[in-house]
Amino acid sequence: MNGARRSSVVTLAALGAVALLAFALLWQATRGAPKLAPQRGSKEDAEAAGAGAAEKSADEPLATRAEPEGAATGGAAKEGPGETIAAERQPAEFDPLQRVQLRGTLVDEHDRTVDVARLRAAAAGEVPRLWLTKHGRRLDEFNLLGDGTLLGDVILPVRERAGLAAELSLAGRRFATEVSPDFTQPFTLRIDFSALALESSAATIVVRPNPQAVDAAEKFVVLRDGATRRAATIDDAGRARFETLTAGKWRGVTAIDGTTPVEFTLELGVRDDRELLVEIAPGFRIAGVAAWDGLDAPLPRCLAIALPVAGRDAALQGVSAQLGGDGSFELGPLPAGEWRFQLVRIDKVSDVLHESLVTLGGREVERLDLRIAPRRPPTRFVRLLLEWPRDQPRDDEGFARVRRSMIATFLGQDGAVVGRGLVVDPRLPRMSLLALPEGATVLELAWRDFAGPLLLDSGVAVTRVPLPRVVQDGKSGDLKVELAAAPRD
């Protein structure tokens, strides 16, 4: 009896060992097996990819646009009117991206098509922008053809089709229409020009004496209301006409070659139409030549700039001119008063080579003979990593119309100025390089518009960026700046 019991125990133990060994082998085989699908992508990632791929110039013909980044990755399959873009082996619930082409028509209140010429005439100096939006966030800019056709090309998550609209802001009014979620039905965006004319204000700037000898492209008037910029050329009768202005206070300046810029203010009521006389006159100039002191070599690429002394609240922020190959420069004409003259190096790194105060008004031309002491190139830099808000895509198309710069001022612990620089064309490169002076703790950036040789107030408040300690010590020169208040037309 005892022998049979021991035999049964041994048999059970052997069977248990075999079962345990089989389980271990099965676990070892399945542990190294590949996963069936990658991790699910988030909707935020898909929206970010779609918004990033949609940034491009509105004036670029649709047929010549390059494929957006990410459009060539993964398999592609046709779905409805668009092209579906999805990575291989995605799970069933993955929300792929879809590239779609949108078509619509711009019409007036009488259902007549509106072409580019009529829209610009109605805008009267305002740059009209036609956007595709999603719940108010800008995704893409439509291309307006000569016959009034609106074309859009955008990449969106397939499931995120609701809430799309085509819209236009003109003279403070918003015109919008819903875009069909299936993208198959052309939309119609209607502008009520009659109501717009009745609700808007207008102004005529009469310039005397009439600058007839100046080329039409070099005589115009600029109006600024906050961050809104309007410009109109002066016709043969010496008049600049502005339609569809909003009521309120406008600041203006004349930009006429060979005359002093004249600044003025304009108060407009609701549905007002005013005429303002502006008298121009010859002004004063700053001219001269710059060269190395004791060194027979040309100066690097430089910009000569004259800025009004601090404390002057005006639309005109200064004048600028490229330094000639022989080192010569000429700025003006300018109004009488005190001006800060700067010679700014803009070849590889922005650095102020010379700065002095010049008082204008005593004689027609103030001449400067500058001898710049050679010095070692800067060894400390701050590299601006310019980031644009998601709801404000890169504006390279608008940049061609209004050139912009950023004047950089470095401040020390006590708020004193310890260095200056200039960021030329900040919207084209992603990174801008400035010489970093000793003792700098804060970087102050001020947007400026170029109107010919004139520097104008952009209407955007000055931005101050504290320099992290690692940047102050020169151990890291990268400084991320989010341009949340970048000016727009």
Q: Which 3-state string (H, E, C) describes the chain?
A: CHHHHHHHHHHHHHHHHHHHHHHHHHHHHHHCCCCCCCCCCCHHHHHHHHHHHCCCCCCCCHHHCCCCCCCCCCEEEEECCEEEEECCCCCCCCCCEEEEEEEEEEEECCCCECCHHHHHHHHCCCCCCEEEEECCEEEEECEECCCCEEEEEEEEECCCCCCEEEEEEECCEEEEEECCCCCCCCEEEEECHHHHHHHCEEEEEEEECCCCCCCHHHEEEEEEECCEEEEEECCCCCEEEEEEECCEEEEEEEEECCCCCCEEEEEECCCCEEEEEEECCCCEEEEEEEEECCCCCCCCCEEEEEEECCCCCCCEEEEEEECCCCCEEEEEEECCEEEEEEEEECCCCEEEEEEEEEEECCCCEEEEEEEECCCCCCCCEEEEEEECCCCCCCCHHHHCCCEEEEEEEEECCCCCEEEEEEEECCCCCCEEEEECCCCCCEEEEEEEEEECCEEEECCCCCEEEECCHHHHCCCCCEEEEECCCCCCC
Predicted confidence at residue 126, as pLDDT, reads 67
Predicted confidence at residue 429, as pLDDT, reads 58
Predicted confidence at residue 333, as pLDDT, reads 92
Predicted confidence at residue 430, as pLDDT, reads 60
For the ranges 51-55, 127-131, 184-188, 470-474, the lowest mean pLDDT is seen at 51-55
pLDDT over 70 at 58, yes or no: no
pLDDT grade, residue 63 (50/70/90)? very low
pLDDT over 80 at 47, yes or no: no
What is the four-CA torsion angle of 167, 104, 181, 173, rounded to 10 degrees?
Answer: 10
Which range, 18-22, 180-184, 481-485, is most confident? 180-184
pLDDT over 50 at 53, yes or no: no
pLDDT over 70 at 360, yes or no: yes
Mean pLDDT confidence for 426-431: 63
Predicted confidence at residue 3, as pLDDT, reads 47
pTM over 0.85: no
Task: Give the CATH class of 284-372.
Answer: mainly beta
For the ranges 8-22, 217-231, 279-293, the lowest mean pLDDT is seen at 8-22
CATH number of 200-279: 2.60.40.10
**What are the pLDDT digits (tens) for 304-339?**
999 998 666 788 889 999 999 999 999 999 999 999
**What are the pLDDT digits (tens) for 120-169?**
777 766 667 888 888 878 888 898 888 889 998 888 777 777 888 999 98
